[in-house]
Amino acid sequence: MSWLGLEGRVALVTGASGGIGAAIVRSLVAEGARVALFDRNEAELAALTDEIGDGHFSRPLDLLETDSIVPAIEAAAGALGAPSILVNGAAISIGAPLATVPEKVFTDQMTINMISAFRTAQAFYAVRDTGRTGAIINISSIAATNAMPKSVAYSPAKAALSMLTREQAVEWGPEGIRSNIVSPGLILTPLSEKYYADPADRKAREEVVPTRRIGKPQDIADAVLFLASDKADYVNGAEIVVDGGFTHTLMTHIPRKRD
């Protein structure tokens, strides 16, 4: 038996077939959880579903169509039983200048990155396993607290997601639901690999991270496993920043006189 005690637990994962999402799914399955996978990429979702084998549930889900969220989660609960874990991993980032970003580009990112998590949490609450502690883990980003150019929609959406998580922690904590945040830093995924294709670019990025490496999806999955488990029973409304210490390097950028 694993020390995490996730055997037999039912977990819902959005953004399940992405780089981070797939690592989370594989890790939950390896720990004995029964997982419901949701993603809008049908081909990647089907491939991951085949990989993890029987005993799980998957359904294509476009989170821009928010009215489809409740039926999807109800179907998962009907197939696997009442869930006690929800991981909101779906995300989208489309860079655009503040002065010219189209409203639809802005609202689509708000919908997928934050509003969908609000809707999935409500749906999870309605069908959850009330016989045990529930765990909601929202995948935010270091961009939620660190502004950067052309992140006019993504960063505010992730900031809102982080505060939504804390609201859930306060309101649903008395009902036995813990809500926490995992905020990734620089992580190498299929979507981000273009930024690391040039060895010089990768080396430059590695050198600004105190641990001197780029993160892996498994780094995020490991944090999620802990928060999903009863080992984190007194962790509620917290944020685990998984960035190798990158966000603590501000003072290193101050020009200093060399000794």
Encode pLDDT of 63-95 as tens digits: 999 999 999 999 999 999 999 999 999 998 888
> Quick check: is 112 in a domain?
yes
Query: Does any domain span residue 251?
Result: no
Residue 61 counted as domain residue: yes
Look at the chain and count its residues: 259
Q: What is the 3-state secondary structure (H, E, C) of 68-106?
A: HHHHHHHHHHHHHCCCCEEEECCCCCCCECCCCCCHHHH
H helix or E strand, kind and range, residue 87:
strand 85-88
Which pLDDT does position 7 carry in this prediction? 96
Let me know: does 248 contact 210? Beta carbons within 8 Å.
yes
Tens place of pLDDT for every residue, the chain, 259 residues? 678 999 999 999 999 999 999 999 999 999 999 999 999 999 999 999 999 999 999 999 999 999 999 999 999 999 999 999 999 999 988 888 889 999 999 999 999 999 999 999 999 999 999 999 999 999 999 999 999 899 989 999 999 999 999 999 999 999 999 999 999 999 999 888 888 899 999 999 999 999 999 999 999 999 999 999 999 999 999 999 999 999 999 888 888 876 6
Residue-level pLDDT at 92? 86
Can you give the pLDDT at residue 208? 92
Residue 163 lies in a domain: yes
End-to-end CA distance of the chain: 55
**Mean of the per-residue pLDDT values of the chain:** 95
- Residue 255, pLDDT score: 84
Domain membership of residue 123 as a residue range: 10-188+219-241
pTM of the model: 0.94
Task: Report yes or no on 250 lying in a domain.
Answer: no
pLDDT of residue 130: 96
**pLDDT at res. 154:** 92
- Running DSSP on this structure, what letter comes out for residue 51? H
What is residue 242's predicted lDDT score, i.e. its pLDDT? 98
What's the pLDDT score for residue 184?
A: 96
Report the half-sphere exposure of 213 (CA within 13 A, side-chain side).
6
The two counts, helices (H) then strands (E), for the chain are 8, 7
The answer to whether residue 258 sits within a structural domain is no
Closest CA to 26 of 42, 43, 6, 40: 6
In a domain, 246, yes or no: no
* Total structural domains within the chain: 1
The answer to whether residue 125 is catalytic is no
From 125, 154, 195, 234, active-site residue = 154
Count the Cβ atoms, other than its own, within 10 Å of residue 210.
13
State whether residue 15 is helix, strand or coil. coil
The reply to whether 204 falls in a domain is no
In tens, the pLDDT along 147-181 reads 989 998 999 999 999 999 999 999 999 999 999 99
CATH of the domain at 31: 3.40.50.720
- Return the pLDDT at 1: 60
